Amino acid sequence: MLKVDDVLLTPQKAIILEDRAIISDIHLGFENVLQNSGISIPEVQLEDVIENLEVLISHGIEELIINGDVKHEFSQNLPGEWKDVVRLLEFLDERVKVCIIRGNHDNFLPTILRKFPGIKFEEMLMVGDYAILHGHRNIEINAGKLILGHEHPSVKFRDSVGGVYRYPCFLRIDGIFVLPAFSPLMKGTDMLTATGFLSPLLKDSRVEDAEVYAIEDKVMYLGKISDLKRLGV
Ligand SMILES: [Mn+2]
């Protein structure tokens, strides 16, 4: 874990703030999207997600905040499709307090959440000085510090013999932290070639100024995007 300002960045792709862990963009069911486009992939995502959450919960956190996009598909709400979400929420509900922040893929989530009266569902949550929100919409915020999801940041490097390495990463820019996608299947957006951010809340920020905290077995500070570009990695 790496301490930055008043938060901890963990290799499980979570930010720990006070006694809470914040993750984002689980995108359960993404396997189905890959399968539908002809890519054969076993449905292993839920197990992987639960394994990582077990590690996080073992740090003794009081509450887990899921900062948007629990499930990938947002056009339908078929019961069978949602079994992974129900299993995940059952697993969490028995162990920690849970708060889900609405993401752009979460339109149908409230239907499932009726089964879980203990789980909060919010547009935004304040924890200390931080506003925690997904970031896909522009909403009025009275906080200088933000924790966002939605961007799925990663950095992609190429070595001299053509090997390609991609690491999910946290970004820190203008008092804002951006979480990597918690999903083990999402490759993420390569910030070294991205020309801008998706979030309207980052419209005044430059990608070049973002500081990169890449995740492998541990969290590594790599400097700013502009530094990495200058190094030609
Ligand atoms: Mn999103």
Return the number of other C-beta atoms located less than 10 Å from residue 192's C-beta: 16
Cα-to-centroid distance, 161 and ligand 1 (Å): 35
pLDDT at 108: 82
Bigger pLDDT: 46 vs 80 = 46
Cα-to-centroid distance, 71 and ligand 1 (Å): 10
- Based on C-alpha coordinates, what's the Rg of the chain? 17
Residues with CB in 5 Å of ion ligand 1: 69, 103-104, 150
Q: What is the mean pLDDT of residues 107-121?
A: 92
Cα-to-centroid distance, 154 and ligand 1 (Å): 15
Q: Which residues have C-beta within 8 Å of that of residue 146, sequence separation ≥ 6?
A: 130, 131, 132, 133, 135, 175, 176, 177, 201
Cα-to-centroid distance, 216 and ligand 1 (Å): 23
Distance in angstroms (rounded) separating the CA atoms of residues 175 and 166: 25
**pLDDT reading at 79 higher than 80:** no
pLDDT at 140: 86
Cα-to-centroid distance, 74 and ligand 1 (Å): 11
Bigger pLDDT: 164 vs 116 = 116
CA–CA distances in Å: residue 121 to residues 92, 107, 114, 138 = 14, 11, 11, 18
Segment 117-133, tens digit of pLDDT: 999 999 999 999 999 99
What angle (nearest 5°) sits at the alpha carbon of residue 7, between those of residues 207 and 20? Answer: 115
Bigger pLDDT: 54 vs 105 = 54
Cα-to-centroid distance, 13 and ligand 1 (Å): 16
Domain that holds residue 26: 2-231
Say if CB 18 and CB 222 are below 8 A apart: no
Token readout for 89 is 């929420």
Cα-to-centroid distance, 151 and ligand 1 (Å): 7
Q: Which residues have C-beta within 8 Å of that of residue 113, sequence separation ≥ 6?
A: 89, 100, 119, 121
Return the number of other C-beta atoms located less than 10 Å from residue 142's C-beta: 6
Output DSSP code: residue 173.
E
**pLDDT reading at 57 higher than 60:** yes
Domain count, the chain: 1
Token readout for 109 is 């989530």
How far the first Cα of the chain sits from its last, in Å, is: 25
Is residue 18 left, alpha or beta, with left meaning phi > 0 and alpha meaning psi from -120 to 50? left
Distance in angstroms (rounded) separating the CA atoms of residues 104 and 184: 19
Bigger pLDDT: 42 vs 69 = 69
Distance in angstroms (rounded) separating the CA atoms of residues 10 and 97: 19
Cα-to-centroid distance, 153 and ligand 1 (Å): 12
Segment 20-34, tens digit of pLDDT: 999 999 988 777 777
Q: Which residues pair with 197 in a beta bridge?
A: none
Distance in angstroms (rounded) separating the CA atoms of residues 9 and 162: 30
Could you give the percent of the chain with pLDDT greater than 70? 94
pLDDT at 161: 85
Segment 136-155, tens digit of pLDDT: 999 888 888 999 999 999 99
Distance in angstroms (rounded) separating the CA atoms of residues 226 and 97: 39
Which CATH number do you get for residue 127? 3.60.21
Is residue 176 left, alpha or beta, with left meaning phi > 0 and alpha meaning psi from -120 to 50? beta
